[in-house]
C-alpha cells in the first residue's frame, strides 16, 4: 500500500512538473524566474553548439529566445531617456529595430562556445515598483562565477527582462550613458550608424 502511494506521488509530481513546463513554454503565465531560467537554458544550448553554428547560426537560434524574454522596445526607450520623445515615430521604430538586432548580436558574440558553464538560481525579490529581480550565477569551470541580476517587469500576461546587472555593472546604465551622449552631440543618424557598426563588428569577431 505504501509502495503504491509512493508511486502515485511520484506520478503526480512528474505530471505537475510537466504541466508547469508546458504552461511556461510560450511564456504566458510564466513567473519571472521561469522566464529567466528558460532563457538561460536556451542560451546554454546555443553555447554548446556555438562553434558548429558560427555567428550567423547562433544569431538565428537566439532570435526568438532573446525577443521572447526581453522587453526590447521598453529597453530601447529607457536607454535614450527623455530624448525618446524628441524622435519621430519613424525614428523610434528604426531605433527599436536596430536595438533588437544589437541585443541578439551581442548574445551571439559573447556566448559563442561552451566549456562546462551552467546557471544556478540564487533568489528572487520584488521591487518597490512592482517588478521582480532574479538573482543567479553563471558557474565557469576553473574561474570565478559571474553574478547576474535580472530585472523584470510585467508586460501583458508575461514577465520580461528590462535590465541585466552582471557583477554589479548595469548593462542599461552603460548603454544609456553612451547612447544619450551620441544622440545629443551627434544626432540620431550618428547613433544608428554607431549601433550598426557595433553589430557589424560582432559578426566579424
- Contacts with 22 (C-beta within 8 Å, 6 or more apart), sequence order: none
- Tens digit of pLDDT for each residue in 12-22? 333 333 333 33
- Contacts with 29 (C-beta within 8 Å, 6 or more apart), sequence order: 23, 157, 158
Residues 83-92 have a mean pLDDT of: 95
Question: Residue 28's pLDDT is what?
Answer: 57
Q: How confident is the model at residue 170 (pLDDT cuts 50, 70, 90)?
A: very high
Assessment of whether the complete model's pTM goes beyond 0.85: no
Amino acid at each position: 500500500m505504501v509502495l503504491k502511494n509512493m508511486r502515485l506521488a511520484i506520478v503526480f509530481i512528474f505530471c505537475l512538473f510537466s504541466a508547469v513546463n508546458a504552461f511556461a513554454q510560450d511564456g504566458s503565465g510564466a513567473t519571472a524566474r521561469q522566464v529567466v531560467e528558460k532563457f538561460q537554458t536556451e542560451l546554454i544550448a546555443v553555447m554548446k553548439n556555438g562553434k558548429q553554428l558560427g555567428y550567423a547560426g547562433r544569431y538565428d537560434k537566439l532570435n526568438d529566445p532573446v525577443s521572447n524574454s526581453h522587453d526590447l522596445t521598453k529597453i530601447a526607450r529607457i536607454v535614450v531617456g527623455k530624448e525618446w520623445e524628441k524622435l519621430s515615430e519613424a525614428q523610434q521604430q528604426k531605433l527599436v529595430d536596430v536595438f533588437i538586432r544589437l541585443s541578439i548580436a551581442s548574445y551571439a558574440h559573447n556566448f559563442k562556445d561552451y566549456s562546462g558553464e551552467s546557471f544556478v538560481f540564487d533568489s528572487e525579490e520584488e521591487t518597490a515598483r512592482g517588478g521582480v529581480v532574479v538573482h543567479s550565477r553563471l558557474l565557469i569551470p576553473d574561474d570565478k562565477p559571474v553574478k547576474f541580476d535580472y530585472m523584470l517587469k510585467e508586460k501583458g500576461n508575461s514577465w520580461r527582462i528590462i535590465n541585466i546587472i552582471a557583477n554589479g555593472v548595469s548593462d542599461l546604465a552603460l548603454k544609456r550613458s553612451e547612447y544619450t551622449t551620441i544622440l545629443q552631440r551627434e544626432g540620431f543618424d550618428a547613433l544608428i550608424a554607431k549601433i550598426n557598426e557595433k553589430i557589424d563588428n560582432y559578426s566579424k569577431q
